[in-house]
Structure 1
Amino acid sequence: MPIPSAILPLALLTGLLLSQNALADRSLAQIDYALFQNPNADVQDDLRALVERGDYRAMRMLGDMLGGSSSTSKRDRLALYQRSFAQGRGEIRALGSMARMMETDTVRRVHYRPAFQQALTQFPHERDLQTLASALDVFLIYPSLFSPQEAEELLRLHERSCLLDCDLQLYRAVLAESLGDRPLADKHYRAAVMVDGRAAERYYHFLGEQQNQLFAQFALQLEPHREAMSADAVHRVGMVLDRIAEILRVDERLAERQRRAAAKAAGTELEPMPPDATAASDGLRQRALGWVDHAAARSWVPAMATRLYFMTSYPDDYSGAEAMQLIDRVAELEPSRAPSLRVEALMVTNWDTLNPQQAHQIIQQMISQGNPDGKELLGDLYNKGGLDEPDQQRALQIYQELSAQGIASAYFRQARVYASAPAFCSDPVQAYALAGVAYDMGLERARSLMRELNFDLSDDERAKAESIRADILQELTI
């Protein structure tokens, strides 16, 4: 078995210490110190070198770091976690990391359930804090793998041993929901949203058919308490609200189309659009932005990235200079996140910072450095015509290459091309199927596109789209 770096011979360790200038020559101790000094330090090459030597903890750490990219193959991360866990002989925390990947990915959650069930038999859950935390991470995704008595005992031990970031309310909510006690689950979810970013999404889905209205009302009640919430929790609430706003926007567009169709069918003159036709979605979007801004003001980088998404989605409301100022701030806090954001901003046609050639240079540099977001951004550049005329075929080719690696966002990008491209690429059936695949793989924002496409599909087309969706999911290499 490969020798973990923690017990490498002294001579080798000495050699590593003398190689400070050689990237990928740092030991785990040096990597830990670099991350202590700067949590966003670029240590991926160092971790990859240790992974090659068989270091279990490096495998888990690298998998966690790769999770920050939407274009990283989940298959690659899962392989790292499985190697790290090593059937209970390696890094137990890797099982918890692997479980967190299943949070919204229904495809893999079903596929990997037997693997998690087996893994739970391969280590003592109560041996130490790490094994306890890993078992509870699995419990959040697969509560049915634990008896109520087992779950209660784990929670009792967790409550006794935990000092910070205990997530107890979320665990209690999941347990109550699994036992069918919805009033108790609702109480715990509401408390969990205050401190745990994962709870907002969980609570939204828990609310069922009236989730859009009920969650928006709940968020309104929470607004006076944002200061007491974690930055992650504040950001997640804003993201859920923005998705609800997008669903409302789709409904408003469909209502307007129905109004026009009815007037045409009746042969009557179309009345002007009511002045408050978009009031609901516009108001909720502003509320969502308020939540995101609150988290971004606390230097929460994911919220700052979401704020840039708002800016590029509504470019008339912002300027390129404002966007670049935000990106420069992100670059100070988390340098690895900045290139992707800068490319997005450089491709906005409404801004005087438009510079597709510079965007292309950054993309090429990202690709050469192995940044997984680079290829997806290259597809976007072709799709928007940044280098010449729009080339949807070339964009689709890039997205298809990425989707073959199991990348959900690549399926969604294909869906958008098929949904909105010129006639030679337009295929609403294919668009609906691919958006459905992206949604099944955990990309929540694909839901609003499916909702809009569904309006124009006949029953036969919808059945065909669902058949394509099912075939893709079946063939997808998990």
Structure 2
Amino acid sequence: MNAKTPSRLLLASIGLACASSALAGQSLEQIRYALYKDPGANVSADLRALADRGDLASKLLLGDVLANSDGASRPEIIGLYKEAFADGRGQVPALASLARLLDRTPSLQNSQREWMAQALTRYPATLDPRNASTTLEVFLVYPQLVSTEQAAQLLALYQQSCLLNCRPELYQAVLAERQGDRAGAERWYQQAVRVDVRAIDRYYRFLGDDQDRAFPAFARSLEALRPTLAVEIVHRIGSLLDSINSVQRAEQEADRYERQASAMGPARVQPDAAQLAADKQRSDALDLARGEAHRWRDNAVERGFVPAMVSKANYMISNPTEHNAEETQALIDQVRAREATRAKALQASFYMVNNWLTLDPDKARALIDELLANRYPDAELLLAEYYSKGVADQPDQDQALAIFQAQARAGSTAAWYRMATLHAYGRAICHDPVKAYTYAQVALALGENGARSLVKRLEKTLKKDDIARALAARNDLLKEATL
């Protein structure tokens, strides 16, 4: 045998290995690093390649990536998490990721309850801190599946063994609430809000009927701490305050509409001076509250938090009479320096603003086509907005609705809300408040909190029979929808 043959075989095998590596795309560690550099990086294709080869860690990460995008299929994400969990023999933290997904989409919780109950029996919860925290994550969503005794035991284990990023406050709050200790639960929730962004909405729900008054008051008590709070917490507090403000404005507008209807009716009841003064006082208070919400958001913007920057840019684009093109473009440029693809989506929306001289249908459509080609999750929604607004010509609501409906069937919660607003206020379409209320309720059930203000506004004007009919239709749609 030629002595050089092994060397040649070795070189050939190295070449094949390199070729295979190149064809395979990025490794899991390379993907993680790409996401570290850019949380919005498009890594789904590489992760799918690894997941298709059976890599459970890649399935878990792919599920996490898809769970943070609006247009992804919920059944696919749930399937990835279950496959990664592998009946307790694989990635146990996949169960925690699934619990967090279900926490954000309450409409899915009942259908997954039995599977989650079985999953809890497939691994030893007390084996290590990872398993203990996984069970505690499930406890947050399904407190009935974990006894208070077991939750207390796991919480003690978690606190004894956790070394980094330890956040027991939210677990303590839910445990106290489950034990019937509301005073203790409130103390823990208020502490949890300072360290865990998920505690914000949970505390808001815990406050019950008084939530829209009590939470803003609590937020004011945190204003001095705002610079020291994690930026995602600052942003979420601002977003929730803005949502509360939108709901309260919707209620005020509905009340005003009812009075206007009474003034035009047979009785012709006109508001007196006291009523007008009360309206002004209410409007002034709402303006102050909106300013508070925006100060929270702006703090997150100043700290370079991209979701806050995107939120502010979208607000400016949606309110072109209150802002100008120059300051909006400057903010989009800041986003571009951090996440180019999200900036491209904002730029497309920017070019669709009719009130500004920067209106440019051709540039908007070119950017949307680029985003579609790159499979950007919200690209189809942007295309629907392009048709709905009549950027290039007249509004084409049939085309817009067809896209929104397809996206809603594919799992987009935002598409349901967009259809609701279109049926409520859209141009060049016969308004259908019952259908708008139906779609808004679907969006709300799927976790689209922005739909709350539209629901409140429509509830003030719809008849009880129409609301009942809409809720029945909502239930049917939730059963049929691809969630």
TM-score, normalized by length of structure 1? 0.91
Amino acid at match of 2:356: W
Question: Partners of 1:261 and 1:99 in 2: how far apart?
Answer: 47
SS in 2 for 1:388: coil
Residue 203 (structure 1) shift: 0.7
The one-character-per-residue Cα deviations of 1:196-241 (angstroms, maximum 9, x if unpaired) are: 1111111111100010000111111111111221111111110110
SS in 1 for 2:104: coil
Q: Does 1:428 align with 2:433?
A: yes
Match of 1:398 in 2: 403
Verify the 8 A CA contact 2:397 2:429 in the aligned structure 1: no
SS in 2 for 1:317: coil
Verify the 8 A CA contact 1:408 1:443 in the aligned structure 2: yes
The one-character-per-residue Cα deviations of 1:79-120 (angstroms, maximum 9, x if unpaired) are: 222222222222222211111111232210121111111111
Greater mean alpha carbon deviation, residues 129-138 or residues 175-184: 129-138
Match of 2:355 in 1: 350
The one-character-per-residue Cα deviations of 1:300-326 (angstroms, maximum 9, x if unpaired) are: 211112222321232222222222222
Alignment of 1:49-448 (within 5 A): 49-265=49-265, 266-267=267-268, 274=277, 275-421=280-426, 424-448=429-453
Verify the 8 A CA contact 1:198 1:236 in the aligned structure 2: no
Residue 329 (structure 1) shift: 1.9
Residue 37 (structure 1) shift: 5.3
Change (3 A) 1:33 1:264: closer
Residue 32 (structure 1) shift: 3.5
Question: Partners of 1:152 and 1:394 in 2: how far apart?
Answer: 54
What are structure 1's unaligned runs of at least 5 residues? 1-9
Change (3 A) 1:418 1:158: same
The one-character-per-residue Cα deviations of 1:228-274 (angstroms, maximum 9, x if unpaired) are: 21111111110110011001111221222223223333336667965
Verify the 8 A CA contact 1:24 1:48 in the aligned structure 2: no
Greater mean alpha carbon deviation, residues 79-88 or residues 203-212: 79-88
SS in 2 for 1:103: helix
Change (3 A) 1:67 1:308: farther
Question: Partners of 2:23 and 2:283 in 1: how far apart?
Answer: 53
Change (3 A) 1:123 1:452: same
Change (3 A) 1:267 1:177: same
Alignment of 1:8-87 (within 5 A): 25-36=25-36, 41-87=41-87
SS in 2 for 1:318: coil
Amino acid at match of 1:365: E
Verify the 8 A CA contact 2:59 2:81 in the aligned structure 1: yes
Q: Does 1:466 align with 2:462?
A: no
Verify the 8 A CA contact 1:417 1:425 in the aligned structure 2: no
Change (3 A) 1:39 1:105: closer
SS in 2 for 1:445: helix
Amino acid at match of 1:425: C
Match of 2:5 in 1: none
Amino acid at match of 1:176: A
How many residues are paired up? 468
Question: Partners of 1:283 and 1:71 in 2: how far apart?
Answer: 35
Question: Partners of 2:455 and 2:104 in 1: how far apart?
Answer: 17
Verify the 8 A CA contact 1:190 1:203 in the aligned structure 2: yes
Change (3 A) 1:113 1:181: same
SS in 1 for 2:144: helix
Amino acid at match of 1:315: P
Question: Partners of 1:12 and 1:372 in 2: how far apart?
Answer: 40
Residue 131 (structure 1) shift: 2.2
**Once the two structures are aligned, what percentage of the paired residues are identical?**
40
Greater mean alpha carbon deviation, residues 403-412 or residues 74-83: 74-83
The one-character-per-residue Cα deviations of 1:1-51 (angstroms, maximum 9, x if unpaired) are: xxxxxxxxx99998565678x585122233334445555544333212112
The one-character-per-residue Cα deviations of 1:341-385 (angstroms, maximum 9, x if unpaired) are: 222222222233322322211211222222221111111111111
Amino acid at match of 2:91: E
Structure with bigger gyration radius:
2
Question: Partners of 2:110 and 2:252 in 1: how far apart?
Answer: 35
Change (3 A) 1:474 1:39: closer
Verify the 8 A CA contact 2:417 2:440 in the aligned structure 1: yes
Verify the 8 A CA contact 2:313 2:331 in the aligned structure 1: yes
Higher relative contact order (CA 8 A, sep 6+): 2
Verify the 8 A CA contact 2:72 2:411 in the aligned structure 1: no
What are structure 2's unaligned runs of at least 5 residues? 1-10
Question: Partners of 1:215 and 1:147 in 2: how far apart?
Answer: 29
Verify the 8 A CA contact 2:251 2:460 in the aligned structure 1: no
How large is the Cα RMSD of the aligned pairs? 2.4
Question: Partners of 2:15 and 2:201 in 1: how far apart?
Answer: 48
Change (3 A) 1:471 1:32: closer
Question: Partners of 2:269 and 2:14 in 1: how far apart?
Answer: 83
Change (3 A) 1:121 1:78: same
The one-character-per-residue Cα deviations of 1:128-162 (angstroms, maximum 9, x if unpaired) are: 33322322221111111111111011111111222
Verify the 8 A CA contact 1:436 1:450 in the aligned structure 2: yes
Verify the 8 A CA contact 2:56 2:90 in the aligned structure 1: yes
Change (3 A) 1:164 1:416: same
Amino acid at match of 1:267: R
SS in 1 for 2:443: helix
Change (3 A) 1:208 1:88: same
